């Protein structure tokens, strides 16, 4: 098997697994059905993934990596901290809307501890990016002085709550700009004197 067909097979397996997890839930998704939808044998599926947990964790890690990489690309050339916060928040919300099925699976049946170290590292990285934006904003004088790590934790945890509401509440409709405005109102330096 050449590298191209191996990568294509792996990609097909991951796509089939994502659909199965979203449609049937983690517990009810079967490796046999995933292999069938991916157009491969069950034996071949096990050559790529030892078990369903590894398959799911790979899928979850790929989504988290994708979000971090795309966020980094979007922020790379933005010098204005206000614009950077807006891009971070808006893109995070848009990404959550696009991939809400995966968010539902994580919360619905996998419990808190499933893939916990992967999730913790992902969450630390997301908070770190926000904290760096806040530090830059304080350095430029655009943002008031505050504990950047604490502010990043608050902003990110509120954003996580919004992401969960997007995934489970079909009526939770809001413009990302409204959240950005709320955050910036807390960060912007005031000329009160």
Higher pLDDT, 180 or 32: 32
- Sequence ranges of the domains in the chain: 1-49, 52-187
Report in angstroms the alpha-carbon separations of 172 from 13, 31, 163. 32, 34, 10
Instruction: Tell whether the model's pLDDT for residue 116 goes beyond 90.
Output: no
Query: What proportion of the chain, given as a percentage, has pLDDT over 90?
Result: 58
Distance CA 186, CA 158 (A): 13
Give pLDDT, residue 113. 61
pTM: 0.84
| pLDDT reported for residue 193 | 46
* CATH among 1.10.10.60, 3.40.50.2000, 1.10.10.10, 3.40.50.300 for 1-49: 1.10.10.60
pLDDT of residue 27: 85
Asked whether this chain's domains 1-49 and 52-187 adopt the same fold, the reply is no
Q: Give pLDDT tens digits for 2-41.
A: 666 889 999 999 999 999 988 888 889 999 999 999 999 9
Answer yes or no: is pLDDT of 143 > 70.
yes
- Give CATH for domain 52-187: 1.10.357.10
Half-sphere exposure of 86 (CA within 13 A, CB side): 13
Whether residue 107 has pLDDT greater than 60: no
């Amino acid at each position: 098997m050449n590298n191209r067909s191996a990568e294509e097979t792996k990609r097909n397996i991951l796509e089939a697994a994502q659909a199965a997890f979203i449609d049937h839930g983690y517990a009810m998704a079967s490796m046999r059905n995933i292999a069938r939808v991916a157009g491969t044998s069950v034996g071949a599926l096990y050559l790529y993934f030892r078990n369903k947990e590894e398959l799911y964790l790979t899928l979850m890690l790929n989504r988290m990596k994708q979000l971090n990489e795309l966020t980094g690309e979007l922020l790379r050339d933005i010098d204005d901290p206000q614009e950077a916060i807006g891009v971070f928040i808006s893109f995070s919300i848009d990404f959550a809307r696009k991939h809400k099925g995966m968010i539902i699976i994580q919360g619905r049946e996998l419990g808190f501890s499933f893939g916990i170290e992967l999730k913790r590292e992902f969450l630390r990285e997301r908070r770190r990016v926000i904290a760096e934006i806040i530090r830059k904003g304080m350095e430029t004088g655009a943002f008031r002085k505050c504990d950047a790590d604490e502010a990043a934790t608050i902003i990110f945890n509120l954003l996580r709550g919004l992401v969960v509401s997007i995934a489970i509440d079909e009526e939770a409709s809001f413009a990302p700009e409204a959240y950005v405005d709320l955050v910036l109102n807390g960060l912007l330096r005031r000329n009160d004197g």
